[in-house]
Amino acid sequence: ADIMKCSLCKTNPKIYYQRHSGLNFCKECFIKYILKRARKTIGRKNITKDMTIIVGLSGGKDSLVMAHVLKELYKPIPNTRIIGVMVDEGIEGYRKEGITHAIEFCEEYNMEYKIATFKETVGYNLDEIVKIAKEKNVNLNPCTFCGVIRRKILNKVSLNENADYLAIGHNLDDIAQAVMMNYIKGDINKLAILGKDAGSSLFVKRMKPLQDIPEHEVLLFADLIGLNYHKDPCPYSSISYRAEVSDIVENLEKKHPGTSYSIVSGFKKLIEHIPVEKNMSICKYCGEAGSSEICKSCALLENLGIRV
Q: Which does 59 bind (CB under 5 to 8 A by kind): Zn ion, ligand SF4, none?
A: none
Which CB atom, from 211 or from 240, has the smaller least distance to ligand SF4? 240
Partnered with residue 83 across adjacent β-strands are 54, 112
Cα 167 vs. chain centroid, distance in angstroms? 7
Give the whole-angstrom CA distance, residue 225 versus residue 205.
29
Are 307 and 298 within 8 A, CB to CB? yes
Shortest CB 224 distance to ligand SF4, Å: 26
Could you say which of ligand SF4, Zn ion, none residue 129 binds, taking C-beta under 5 to 8 angstroms by partner kind?
Answer: none
Residue 236 interacts with which of ligand SF4, Zn ion, none, CB < 5 to 8 Å by class:
ligand SF4
Q: How far apart are CA 274 and CA 188, in angstroms?
A: 8
Residue 243 Cβ vs ligand SF4, minimum distance, rounded to whole Å: 9
* Contact partner at residue 142 from Zn ion, ligand SF4, none, CB < 5 to 8 Å by partner kind: ligand SF4
Distance CA 24, CA 7 (A): 5
The contacts of residue 182 (CB under 8 Å, 6+ apart) are 188, 190, 191, 194
Site for ligand SF4, rule CB under 6 A: 89, 142-143, 146-147, 234, 236-237, 240
Q: Which amino acid type is present at position 188?
A: I
Please name the residues in contact with 269: beta carbons below 8 A apart, sequence gap of 6 or more.
none
Distance between CA 101 and CA 229 in Å, rounded? Answer: 6
Q: Interface residues for Zn ion in 267-306 (CB under 5 A)?
A: 283, 285-286, 295, 298
Q: Which of residues 25-54 bind Zn ion (CB under 5 A)?
A: 26, 29
In the bound state with ligand SF4, the residue whose beta carbon lies nearer, of 240 and 246, is: 240
> Is residue 9 a contact point for Zn ion (CB under 5 A)?
yes
| Helix (H), strand (E) at residue 150 | helix 142-160
Q: Would you say 77 or 202 has its CB closer to Zn ion?
A: 202
Q: Which residues bind Zn ion (CB under 5 A)?
A: 6, 8-9, 12, 26, 29, 283, 285-286, 295, 298
